[in-house]
Chain A
Amino acid sequence: MNSPSAIINKILTFSAVDGPGNRLVVFFQGCNLACLNCHNPYTMGRCNDCGDCIPHCPQQALSMDDTGTVRWDADLCSQCDTCLSVCTFSASPKTLRYSVSELLDVVQDNTPFISGITLSGGEATTQLPFILAFLTALRTNPATAALSCLVDSNGLLGKTAWQQLLPLVDGVMLDIKAWHTDQHKAITGSHNHRVKASLDQLIRSKKLAELRFLLIPSVTDFDPPPDDLLLMLRGLSPETPIRINGFQHHGVVGAAAFWPPAQSDDISRFQQVLHSAGLLNVKIPVHTEKMSLPFR
């Protein structure tokens, strides 16, 4: 039988920010949005084996094999990311292909350390057949059955697909990139009718694990909130987990590098909006002080 395999950009074995407790996070390669503010744009596309990056690699870690496929040698790679910067498809040659059982092995190797797993990306749901097969295997394996499973999503998945996926997961963390469809389109390249439909579906099926707003001052239309956003917020249960993320420049390329980063005041103002809407469970970015020490 031909079992599905996945293209994976990266696996993190420790993350404190992708759900409760420590998560093993699988970043799937490929996304169906093209957000200008994406802080890992090299996860958007999938490598088309054009080979343009090969001569640029200073470590000769990239090559073309006999079948015309770009190969990446992890041992030679110095992670300088030159290949990512020269790729014209927002893809990465440094991806790995995993079968269901290979990915299950990775999870099993780390079970003592993790509370659960989070499927992220890119957009994990663009590899739906794989994640359905993987989650089914995870749920039926006694060593991993108790792990909680979350999906991090942009909400573009269709209703029937959610109906297949939701029974296998504990919840979905949904990103709201903008509220009005024009603004959403300006930032992500797509309208957001499906995102709002997904939000409804997740609430109704009690699988909304977290609702995330990425705040970009003067770009996102959350502050001041439009009336229909306020209406949606007031309709949420007060305990709904909400996270405000603040836009920062790390990893961002192109026009968005000139957008203003979110500052504490921006965060607090929107936090106030959410509190006024009756929401009690709002997480905000941790404030880090710029390190200053008397030594060089």
Chain B
Amino acid sequence: MTLIQDRLLSIATDPLLSFKQKSRQFALSADEQLPYLSLSDGLSTALESRVVCDMFEGHAPFKPRYVLPDYALFLKQGSCYLELPPADTLDEALTYLGILYHHVPSVTDLPVFLGHIDRLLLPYIDDVSDAQLYQKLKLFWIQLDRTLPDAFVHANIGPEDNRIARAILAIEAELKQTVPNLTFMYDPAITSDDLLRAVTDTLCQCNKPHIANNPLHEAQFTDTGFGIVSCYNALSLGGGANTLVRLNLRKVAEQSDSLEDFFAHQLPRYSDLMFELIEARTDFLHNRSGFFNSFLVSEGLIHEDRFSPMWGVFGLAQAVNHLGSLANKQGSYGNSEWHNALAPRISQALSDIVTETFVTFGYKNRALLHSQAGISTDSEETPGTRIPYGEEPDIISHVKIAASHHAYYPSGISDVLQLDQTVVDNPESVFQLCKGALQIGMREFTVNIAHQDLVRVTGFMIKRSDIEKLQAEGSRSNTAALGVEAVEKTGILNRRPRVVSDELTVSDYQ
């Protein structure tokens, strides 16, 4: 048998994959048989050495990476293609949304954006009691987790206080599911302290939701509105990301002779290759794939010109440390002033490049800089602009260092603030931390409290209990395997929880 036949047979006979997971593996393998898009030699070399990475979107990109349909418009007008009238009741709205989700593609095949759930459903709940609302939303949430088994599937709530947002927070605390991923939009002008406290109370029970700074994001997407999708990507509503490519800053730094060489030559040189890859990939998607003939476009749910390429970076920590050693500087990123000051200079240089460079297919003809949260096989690079796991300073210094980058990354920059379990007894401390982080300009962040069953990987979640199960019997979750790989290769469980006092914990000796 040929190599590819061997590979296909091993998929077909894999005892741990479900039939759907096998079908998807088959499809990915088929795509790999096509020749790669036509690229320059320089770019091909950079791709092979993975200085520039294409994020596994395939050789023939026939769908955008992330799609954010205008679900409110869909509910209001119904759909000719799907033969659905406008929604009139909560039951209709939930059912119709559940239908449309199955027609929204992404790099994973499953929708990465479920909408601003509370805003979407508010018009339909006047006659619904609190108890009914809770029960209906809970069933909806269970259905999402079981039918869209992928932790990149993402819903948004907030910043307004309403019965739906409150119900969803309570449901999250009760169900503790990995799907959907959830972001709460915080707006100091709109969100009450009481609602933020409900959010942090939920956090203390299930490490969800992620928190985003609404006014900071809104300012970036004034014409279109926005949503937070997948592993924390902020994108235009009614659009999305046509592709994501990312630059390995560690490797760029290692190609450099000096700080000057890094800024003046290597960064611009590899940035050019990033743009070349973006042009090649988006050309196929927009000009050849036919994707934009979809009913999603003809019914006005998405607009081709609202799709932007995401220009991702990762391994900033290693780049900074390498450049520090070239300059004979002691210390490391996260723990030395010199390094902590260099890091945002790199972010600013990247931002200047990306905001000044024309792309053919991008909202306002620009790509969006993104601090990429890593993939499960990054064993030598830290996600995005984060501080390496295990080397984080005290949590407040951590937040201040992280925040120094946030202005430069409009399409998302996430950080995981790892806390010790003792905070569970004092949710007010988490509330205060979140409030402070938002106040000093964090665009978004997630809090991960040690020892809970739901664990943040790069940004999506897995269940600790699933890690053990996966190896024995496989998993119905498509992301569990990515989570396990990340645990093995990227050291996510080494994140340093800020320990407060041993006397306040008790762990019995067996």
Pairwise interchain contact B451-A262, C-beta atoms closer than 8 A: no
Can you list 20 A-B pairs with a CB-CB distance of less than 8 A? Answer: A13-B397, A15-B500, A16-B420, A16-B429, A17-B422, A17-B504, A20-B428, A21-B431, A39-B503, A112-B440, A113-B435, A113-B436, A245-B504, A246-B503, A246-B506, A261-B506, A261-B509, A267-B506, A286-B425, A293-B468
Q: Does B216 contact A (CB under 8 A)?
A: no
With A14-B394, A20-B428 already in contact, 12 other A-B pairs whose C-beta atoms are closer than 8 Å: A13-B394, A14-B429, A14-B433, A16-B426, A17-B500, A21-B432, A113-B436, A248-B505, A263-B506, A285-B504, A286-B421, A286-B422
Q: In whole angstroms, what is the CA distance A214 to B504 when docked?
A: 10
- B469 to chain A: closest residue by CB: A294
Q: Does B84 contact A (CB under 8 A)?
A: no
Contact of A115 among B428, B451, B504 (CB under 8 A): B428
**Shortest Cβ distance from residue B48 to the other chain A in the assembled complex, whole angstroms:** 30
Contact of A283 among B425, B429, B506 (CB under 8 A): B425
Pairwise interchain contact B500-A16, C-beta atoms closer than 8 A: yes
Q: Does B464 contact A (CB under 8 A)?
A: yes
CB contacts (< 8 Å) of A248 on chain B: these are 502-503, 505-506
Pairwise interchain contact B426-A288, C-beta atoms closer than 8 A: no
Pairwise interchain contact A16-B503, C-beta atoms closer than 8 A: no
Of the candidates A16, A264, A285, the one having the most CB atoms from chain B within 10 angstroms of its own CB is A16
Q: Does B507 contact A (CB under 8 A)?
A: yes
Contacts known (A16-B423, A75-B330, A112-B435); A250 close to B467, Cβ less than 8 A:
no
Contacts known (A110-B396, A112-B440, A293-B487); A22 close to B433, Cβ less than 8 A:
yes
Pairwise interchain contact A288-B435, C-beta atoms closer than 8 A: no
Q: Does B126 contact A (CB under 8 A)?
A: no
Pairwise interchain contact B429-A115, C-beta atoms closer than 8 A: yes
Q: Does A12 contact B (CB under 8 A)?
A: yes
Q: In whole angstroms, what is the CA distance A294 to B467 when docked?
A: 8
CB contacts (< 8 Å) of B507 on chain A: these are 287-290
Q: Does A179 contact B (CB under 8 A)?
A: no
CB contacts (< 8 Å) of A22 on chain B: these are 428-429, 432-433, 436
Pairwise interchain contact B508-A263, C-beta atoms closer than 8 A: yes
- B394 to chain A: closest residue by CB: A13
Of the candidates B430, B436, B509, the one having the most CB atoms from chain A within 10 angstroms of its own CB is B436
CB contacts (< 8 Å) of B426 on chain A: these are 16-17, 20-21
**Shortest Cβ distance from residue B260 to the other chain A in the assembled complex, whole angstroms:** 25
CB contacts (< 8 Å) of A112 on chain B: these are 435-436, 439-440
Q: In whole angstroms, what is the CA distance A293 to B330 when docked?
A: 35
Pairwise interchain contact B500-A286, C-beta atoms closer than 8 A: no
Q: Does A165 contact B (CB under 8 A)?
A: no
Q: In whole angstroms, what is the CA distance A14 to B418 when docked?
A: 12
Mark A270-296 against chain B: 1 for CB-CB distance below 8 A, else 0: 000000000000010111111101110
Closest 7 A-B residue pairs measured CB to CB? A113-B436, A16-B429, A112-B436, A250-B502, A13-B396, A22-B432, A21-B428
CB contacts (< 8 Å) of B287 on chain A: these are none
Q: In whole angstroms, what is the CA distance A217 to B97 when docked?
A: 58
Chain A interface (Cβ < 8 Å from any Cβ of B): 12-17, 20-23, 39, 75, 110, 112-115, 214, 245-248, 250-251, 261-264, 267, 283, 285-291, 293-295
CB contacts (< 8 Å) of A20 on chain B: these are 426, 428
CB contacts (< 8 Å) of B125 on chain A: these are none
Mark B404-448 against chain A: 1 for CB-CB distance below 8 A, else 0: 000000000000000111111110111111011101100000000
Pairwise interchain contact B421-A288, C-beta atoms closer than 8 A: yes
CB contacts (< 8 Å) of A14 on chain B: these are 394-396, 429, 433, 498
Pairwise interchain contact B471-A294, C-beta atoms closer than 8 A: yes
Contacts known (A21-B426, A112-B440); A264 close to B506, Cβ less than 8 A:
yes
Contact of B436 among A23, A114, A283 (CB under 8 A): A114
List B residues 484-510 near A (Cβ within 8 Å). Answer: 487-488, 493, 498, 500-510
CB contacts (< 8 Å) of A114 on chain B: these are 432, 436
Q: In whole angstroms, what is the CA distance A289 to B429 when docked?
A: 22
Contacts known (A112-B436, A286-B425); A13 close to B395, Cβ less than 8 A:
yes
CB contacts (< 8 Å) of A264 on chain B: these are 506, 508
Q: Does B247 contact A (CB under 8 A)?
A: no
Q: Does B399 contact A (CB under 8 A)?
A: yes
CB contacts (< 8 Å) of A12 on chain B: these are 394, 500
